[in-house]
């Protein structure tokens, strides 16, 4: 069995597309910035008024808000008075600093819908930091451990979604003050990126180890599918956030994580194509078959429940058989079930 080396916990970084490489979710449109500099539009007026009202409600001075954003007080003054527009990234940063959803700044929306399915999975924040053993089999999934900030962020994102979560709510779930939360991360965006990048780092390490354990394309494909299925059941919370919150990432982070995910898809596609060349698989559409296989595995996070009738290992074994059927694996080349 090939040992797997997990990456050490990383500091917050910017981190993204779905594993199939296809766009599954639309991305938010940029915040409108029409109008010449120094002029006022209805959108800028509404945005500026919302920022000023929230800043004053939080007891922040204009200089304090400017310092938190890393801009000059004159820029904040121009924004609050509707004399300048701003980018989607800046609005996201404003929402984080002011402790509200982004929609509170750019429009009126209903209160967030609470997804009760994740209430138990989210649980209370862990007081301990991450501690992942250095080497394990890619089939073994010890309980994940997070720093308090990421634990609180994941719990909030699962129940309320990214845009329905606030820094104050995340801090409460993390067992921290808002100021203490900022000691770990500069805002919600950094926490979302950290969650997704850690998820992809772990998955990549596992799939690489799974590939090393295969002797031919059929065995390697079976291992990859088993690995993907195990990951999206044992780490279903991360898989769910990855599937539902991709559009919440800023463009640079989304682009980077998309690249990582596409490389994971490519691992499966490579084995299916090689299996077809070697006469092990008979599918006439290897790329489409590979996408179908990966998509079925990533969808597990949407519906799998540990309280159901099947364990992650049982589900993974079923999905291996499904995948071999999809690629039309020759009976003589079919790996024996574990």
User: Is 243 in the same domain as 195?
Assistant: yes
Tell me, what DSSP letter sits at residue 247?
G
Contact 55, 77 (CB under 8 A): no
Buried b (16+ CB within 10 A) or exposed e, 312-332: beebbbebbeebbebbebeee
What was the pLDDT predicted at 200? 94
What was the pLDDT predicted at 131? 35
User: Is 88 in the same domain as 160?
Assistant: no
User: Is 303 in the same domain as 187?
Assistant: yes
Phi, psi torsion values for 177, nearest 5 degrees:
-80, 165
User: Is 58 in the same domain as 143?
Assistant: no
User: Is 183 in the same domain as 60?
Assistant: no
Domains in the chain, number = 2
The CATH number linked to 311 is 1.10.357.10
What was the pLDDT predicted at 37? 40
State the sign of the Cα–Cα–Cα–Cα dihedral 320, 241, 304, 302: negative
What was the pLDDT predicted at 102? 67
Residue 239 lies in a domain: yes
User: Is 229 in the same domain as 293?
Assistant: yes
Residue 159 lies in a domain: yes
What was the pLDDT predicted at 33? 36
User: Is 163 in the same domain as 229?
Assistant: yes
Q: Choose one of 106, 121, 146: the last residue of a domain.
A: 106
Residue 119 lies in a domain: no
Residue 319 lies in a domain: yes
The tally of CA atoms less than 13 A away on the side-chain side of residue 100 is 20
What was the pLDDT predicted at 41? 59
Q: Choose one of 72, 89, 106: the last residue of a domain.
A: 106
Domain containing residue 83: 42-106
CA distance 217 to 274: 6
Residue 115 lies in a domain: no
Which residues of the chain fall below pLDDT 50? 6-40, 108-115, 120-135
User: Is 229 in the same domain as 302?
Assistant: yes
pTM: 0.65
User: Is 163 in the same domain as 211?
Assistant: yes
pLDDT digits (tens, 9 = 90+) for 15-58: 333 333 332 222 233 333 333 344 445 667 888 888 898 888 87
What was the pLDDT predicted at 43? 65
CA angle in degrees (0–180, nearest 5) for 50-56-57? 85
User: Is 100 in the same domain as 139?
Assistant: no
User: Is 94 in the same domain as 181?
Assistant: no
Residue 209 lies in a domain: yes
pLDDT digits (tens, 9 = 90+) for 164-184: 899 989 999 999 888 888 888
Contact 201, 107 (CB under 8 A): no
User: Is 216 in the same domain as 280?
Assistant: yes
Residue 30 lies in a domain: no
Residue 237 lies in a domain: yes
Q: Choose one of 68, 90, 106: the last residue of a domain.
A: 106
């Amino acid at each position: 069995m090939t040992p797997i080396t997990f990456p050490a916990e990383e500091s917050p970084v910017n981190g993204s597309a779905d594993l199939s490489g296809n766009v599954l979710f639309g991305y938010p449109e940029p915040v409108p910035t029409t109008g010449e500099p120094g002029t006022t539009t209805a959108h800028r007026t509404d945005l500026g008024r919302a920022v000023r009202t929230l800043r004053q409600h939080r007891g922040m001075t204009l200089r304090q808000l400017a310092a938190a954003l890393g801009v000059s007080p004159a820029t904040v003054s121009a924004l609050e008075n509707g004399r300048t527009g701003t980018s989607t990234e800046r609005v996201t940063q404003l929402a984080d600093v002011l402790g509200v959803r982004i929609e509170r700044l750019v429009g009126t929306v209903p209160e967030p819908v609470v997804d009760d399915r994740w209430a138990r999975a989210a649980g209370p924040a862990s007081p301990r930091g991450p501690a992942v053993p250095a080497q394990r089999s890619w089939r073994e999934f010890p309980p994940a451990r997070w720093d308090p900030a990421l634990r609180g962020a994941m719990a909030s994102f699962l129940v309320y979604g990214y845009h329905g979560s606030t820094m104050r709510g995340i801090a409460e779930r993390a067992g921290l003050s808002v100021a203490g939360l900022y000691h770990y991360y500069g805002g919600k965006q950094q926490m979302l990126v950290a969650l997704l990048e850690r998820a992809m780092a772990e998955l990549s390490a596992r799939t690489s180890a799974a590939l090393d354990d295969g002797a031919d394309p059929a065995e390697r494909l079976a291992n990859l599918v088993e690995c993907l299925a195990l990951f999206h059941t044992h780490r279903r919370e991360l898989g769910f956030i990855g599937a539902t919150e991709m559009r919440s990432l800023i463009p640079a982070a989304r682009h980077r994580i998309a690249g990582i995910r596409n490389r994971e898809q490519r691992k499966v596609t490579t084995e299916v194509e090689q299996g077809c060349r070697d006469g092990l698989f008979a599918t006439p559409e290897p790329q489409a078959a590979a996408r179908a296989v990966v998509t079925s595995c990533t969808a597990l996070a949407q519906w799998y429940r540990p309280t159901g009738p099947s364990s992650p290992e049982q589900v993974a074994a079923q999905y291996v058989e499904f995948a071999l059927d999809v690629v039309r694996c020759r009976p003589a080349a079919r790996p024996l079930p574990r």
